[in-house]
Amino acid sequence: MAGRLIDDEPELAYEHAQAAVRRAGRVDVVREAAGLAAYRTGRYAEALRELRTVRRLNGSSEHLAVMADCERGLGRPERALALASSDEAGTLDPVGRAELAIVVSGARLDLGEHEAALAALDQVSAAPTTELGLRVLQARAGVLEASGRDAEAVELLASVDPRALAAAIGADLGDEDVVVYDLQDETEGVGDESDEASDDTGSRDGPAARGSAPAAGRGER
């Protein structure tokens, strides 16, 4: 249910995911949906905790880019960069590495490192007509605008179909094909995994990290 609602009604998706966690907290896809729903609603600290739990449950690093973006949302770009340079990042597939590069670019921009932000995007090899390629172009345009190079940003996007760009931006890090199965018949009171100890204190007040700049590129929370 959360997977079906997350685009149009993210708050409702979050509520469904929380109900599922209460019933089956040890199921990795349930915690995954909870983490992604929290991310989409701007609950970055909670999303980070949930995705860490997913990583412990199934050993997957597929959401590393989302986790790094949560660090940005919590105002900690240095931690986002640390995740991106970890050994774990080396296990990502090409799409995962591209997603992480977009987040790295945003983290560099958070730190005022404009050239490094552009350099991070240079690491992504994607045709400009693909969804990922369009997102890279949007991220690059955001960096150029933040650098005061508005004319270059406009020129970069001049040949892009606005509808295709809008669709690509909408297909962001949190738009995963995650389904929370109907858990009504699950045994009540299934034990929950204890959350990893963390000093995360932010919740929904951080800047939207999902773009090349805070609150830029893919919508403000």
Domain parsing of the chain, residue ranges: 1-60, 62-177
Residue 159 or residue 97, greater confidence: 97
Give the ranges where 111-184 is alpha helix by DSSP (H).
Answer: 114-122, 131-146, 150-157, 162-170
Q: How far is CA 80 from the centre of its chain?
A: 11
Break the chain down into helix, strand, coil percent, rounded to 5. 60, 0, 40
Superfamily of domain 62-177: Tetratricopeptide repeat domain (1.25.40.10)
Residue 24 or residue 89, greater confidence: 89
The torsion defined by the Cα of 10, 126, 92 and 138, in degrees rounded to 10, comes to -40
Using only C-alpha atoms, what is the Rg of the chain? Answer: 17
Residue 194: left (phi > 0), alpha (psi -120 to 50), or beta? beta
Euclidean distance between CA atoms 211 and 136, whole angstroms: 10
Q: Give the pLDDT band (50/70/90) at residue 205.
A: very low
Q: Do domains 1-60 and 62-177 have the same CATH topology?
A: yes
Whole-model pTM?
0.77
1-60 sits in which CATH class?
mainly alpha
Reported as a single tens digit per residue, the pLDDT across 178-193 is: 444 444 433 333 334 4
Q: Give the pLDDT band (50/70/90) at residue 206.
A: very low
Euclidean distance between CA atoms 217 and 209, whole angstroms: 9
Collect contacts of 184-187 with beta carbons under 8 A, ≥24 apart.
Answer: 186/23, 186/24, 187/23
